């Protein structure tokens, strides 16, 4: 390599940095910055009227799992916190599972349409994104609440004698999250199925595979990258969901996101809120690592 080529290479590297600088600065300030603040807050003491006092304390982190007995100061597992944690994980896993079961046939349907119709279907899938999440969630609320559309119609038709209580249950939260996150499952699945060579189906049938075996042995392993991507895109935001459990789960069916908000609001315990946020982050990261590692080991990456 000549000197002028060296200089050109160096210049192109400098240019690349210069061009990506705005994004890098923004990411640093907007992602790493707040995260750092949250991390610092989690090791401080709560202020009287919210905010924090700059006194080092591990109480925030301890309170994630334990409560201090008000009489003898002994530590006990915080059942309420664990219940909320467990509900969050359970509902997120269920949401991921249901969006997969519903989203896979949808994605398959779209991927097997002629190219023009495909664009239309994909467009339709993205339409819900045009409306604010809060408004859509209230719309679901309007449908399923006791005096809502569904119950009114059912009672008028004489099918129900009294309204079916859906609102403020786990089922309502699940329904809302499935609705909200379904597109995030469908789109990566579609991308994977779109790349899938349909001729492999005939090869499978030709080699004595039943329809179920073709699905299980050929389609699913090959579109697995899409399944992994979709699952992550649904599971992670589900775990931190705030609006949906708030509007559809009422005050009682809290998820971890609502619980964190509570600490920054009425709870006036910012360090606990910060520690809970960091815990959530750690849980998600570990879960993702385990999931991706396991999925990668078993399968043989494709595409």
Partner 1 sequence: MTATENAIEARNTVKAFGQGTAAVRALDDVSVTIRKGEFFTLLGPSGCGKTTLLRLIAGFETPTSGQIWLDGQDITHLPPNKRPVNTVFQSYALFPHLTVAQNVGFALQMQGKPKAEVAQTAREMLALVKLEHLADRKITQMSGGQQQRVALARALAARPKVLLLDEPLSALDLKLRKEMQVELKRLQLETGITFVFVTHDQEEALTMSDRIGVMSNGKLQQIGSPRDIYTRPVNRFVASFIGETNFLPATLQGAAARLGSGDLVEVAGGEGRAGAVTVTVRPEQVRLVPPGEAGAMAATIRDWVYFGTDTHVHLTLADGAEVVARLQSNPTGEAGLSRGAPAGLRFAPGAAQVLGD
The CB-of-121 to partner 1 minimum distance in angstroms stands at: 24
- The 10 Å Cβ neighbour count of residue 30 is 10
Among 205, 250, 267, 268, binds partner 1 (CB under 8 A): 205
The CB-of-104 to partner 1 minimum distance in angstroms stands at: 17
Which is nearest to 184 in space by CA: 148, 226, 243? 226
- Only segment of 68-76, 85-93, 118-126, 207-215 that touches partner 1 (CB under 8 A): 207-215
The verdict on 153 binding partner 1 (CB under 8 A) reads no
Among 203, 286, 290, 292, binds partner 1 (CB under 8 A): 203
221-260 residues in contact with partner 1 (CB under 8 A) are: 221-222
The CB-of-49 to partner 1 minimum distance in angstroms stands at: 59
The verdict on 210 binding partner 1 (CB under 8 A) reads yes
- The 10 Å Cβ neighbour count of residue 38 is 17
Nearer to partner 1, 111 or 241 (CB): 111
Written as six digits, the tokens of 243 are: 């609006």
Written as six digits, the tokens of 63 are: 């309170």
DSSP code, position 47: P
What is the SS3 assignment for 121?
helix
H or E element, residue 66: strand 66-68
What is the SS3 assignment for 76?
strand
The verdict on 216 binding partner 1 (CB under 8 A) reads no
- CA dist list (Å): 178 to 90, 156, 182, 241, 275: 13, 28, 6, 12, 28
The CB-of-189 to partner 1 minimum distance in angstroms stands at: 17
Nearer to partner 1, 71 or 208 (CB): 208
183-202 residues in contact with partner 1 (CB under 8 A) are: 197, 199-200, 202
The CB-of-222 to partner 1 minimum distance in angstroms stands at: 5
* Residue 251: partners with Cβ closer than 8 Å, 6 or more residues away: none
- Counted residue by residue, the chain has a size of 303
Nearer to partner 1, 196 or 270 (CB): 196
Please report, as ranges, the residues that interact with partner 1 according to CB under 8 A: 197, 199-200, 202-203, 205-210, 213, 217-218, 221-222, 299-300, 302
């Amino acid at each position: 390599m000549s000197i002028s080529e060296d200089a050109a290479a160096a210049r192109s590297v400098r240019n690349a940095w210069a061009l990506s600088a705005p994004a890098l600065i923004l990411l640093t300030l907007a992602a790493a910055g707040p995260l750092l603040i949250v991390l610092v807050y989690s090791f401080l003491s709560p202020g009287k009227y919210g905010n924090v006092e700059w006194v080092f304390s591990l109480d925030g982190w301890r309170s994630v799992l334990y409560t201090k007995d008000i009489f003898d100061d002994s530590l006990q597992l915080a059942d309420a916190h664990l219940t909320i944690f467990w509900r969050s994980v359970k509902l997120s896993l269920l949401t991921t599972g249901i969006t997969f079961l519903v989203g896979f046939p949808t994605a398959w349907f779209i991927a097997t349409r002629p190219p023009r119709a495909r664009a239309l279907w994909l467009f339709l899938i993205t339409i819900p994104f045009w409306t604010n999440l809060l408004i859509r969630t209230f719309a679901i609320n309007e449908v399923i609440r006791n005096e809502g559309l569904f119950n009114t119609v059912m009672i008028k038709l004489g099918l129900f004698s009294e309204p079916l209580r859906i609102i403020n249950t786990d089922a309502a939260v699940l329904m809302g999250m499935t609705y909200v996150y379904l597109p995030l499952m469908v789109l990566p699945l579609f991308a994977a199925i779109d790349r899938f060579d349909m001729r492999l189906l005939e090869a499978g049938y030709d080699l004595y595979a039943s329809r179920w075996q073709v699905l299980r042995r050929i389609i699913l392993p090959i579109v697995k990258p899409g399944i992994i991507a979709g699952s992550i895109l649904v599971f992670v935001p589900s775990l931190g969901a705030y609006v949906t459990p708030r509007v559809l789960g009422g005050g009682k069916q809290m998820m971890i996101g609502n619980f964190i908000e509570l600490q920054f609001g009425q709870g006036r315990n910012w360090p606990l809120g910060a520690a809970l946020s960091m815990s959530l982050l750690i849980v998600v990261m570990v879960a993702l690592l385990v999931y991706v590692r396991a999925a990668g080991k078993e399968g043989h990456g494709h595409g």
